[in-house]
């Protein structure tokens, strides 16, 4: 799965070296980022002219916290690829004015027209980024309270219990406007929510269900994650 996504991203960047790319943090994209690094090191792709946008961040955290999204992206993407700071754009989870921080990120994306590739995972409650159930499909970057399941699951990224209350994230409007919106997911634990998101009702109670309305969207799954979908594996 990771190799297939990486090949798509590489081919896209080969065609458009100045692409605006959005990547998430977490378990799902790690294999993909490792593949991208291998392609770059082999000289098959040059990311130096690309601009990168981080998908989201825990409010109250910055890159000094190893559980922050910024730390993850720096360790797994920006650092290994040698991306210059001005081309590695991430939310400041400690910004004194979160609305202004959202406007800053929105303005960068708007300057480019839209994201070329916006790659996301899916939460156990169907969230995309930190767009929790009940979120409006029409929001750009925004901040919102975290769902209880997100707070619980999110603890796995931290070495000690960490207070998580709010997230700051790109919005579902960005996902709709991206030239190529991509969802990736792996593992049987994601099978039920994926079936609900991809084959159930389109509703903001399952934010990932917005994929059903996006004709240019791509979904990459492993067989375990696809296990409850209705299509035949044959």
Active site members: 56, 125, 127, 132
Sheet bearing 88-89, strands edge to edge: 88-89, 51-54, 20-23, 117-120, 180-185, 218-221
| Nearest-5° Cα angle at 188, 193 to 32 | 95
Instruction: Give burial (CB, 10 Å; 0-12/13-18/19+) of 44.
Output: middle
Q: Supply the DSSP string of 7-53, one letter for each residue.
A: HHHHHHHHH-TT-EEEE--SSTTHHHHHHHHHHHHTTS---TT-EEE
Calculate the alpha carbon distances from 233 to 122, 185, 202 in Å.
Answer: 21, 17, 24
Which among 18, 141, 31 is positioned nearest to 90, based on CA atoms?
Answer: 141
What is the rounded CA–CA span in Å between residue 117 and residue 9? 8
3-class DSSP state of 130: coil
């Amino acid at each position: 799965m990771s190799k297939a996504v990486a090949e798509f991203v590489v081919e896209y960047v080969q065609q458009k070296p100045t692409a605006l790319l959005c990547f998430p943090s977490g378990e799902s994209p790690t294999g993909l980022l490792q593949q991208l690094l291998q392609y770059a090191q082999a000289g098959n792709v040059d990311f130096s002219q690309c601009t990168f946008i981080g998908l989201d961040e825990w409010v109250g955290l910055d890159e000094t916290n190893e559980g922050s999204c910024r730390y993850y992206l720096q360790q797994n993407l920006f650092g290994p690829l040698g991306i210059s700071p001005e081309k590695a754009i991430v939310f400041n989870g400690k910004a004194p004015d979160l609305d202004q921080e959202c406007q800053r990120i929105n303005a960068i994306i708007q300057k480019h027209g839209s994201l070329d590739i916006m790659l996301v995972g899916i939460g156990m409650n169907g969230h995309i980024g930190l767009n929790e159930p009940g979120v409006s499909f029409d929001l750009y970057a925004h901040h919102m309270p975290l769902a209880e399941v997100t707070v619980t699951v999110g603890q796995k990224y931290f070495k000690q219990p960490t207070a998580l209350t709010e997230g700051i994230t790109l919005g579902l409007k960005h996902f709709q406007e991206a030239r190529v919106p991509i969802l990736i997911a792996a593992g049987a634990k994601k099978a039920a929510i994926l079936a609900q998101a991809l084959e159930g009702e389109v509703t903001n109670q399952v934010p990932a269900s917005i994929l059903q309305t996006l004709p240019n969207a791509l979904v990459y799954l492993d067989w375990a994650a696809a296990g409850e979908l209705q299509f035949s594996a044959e």
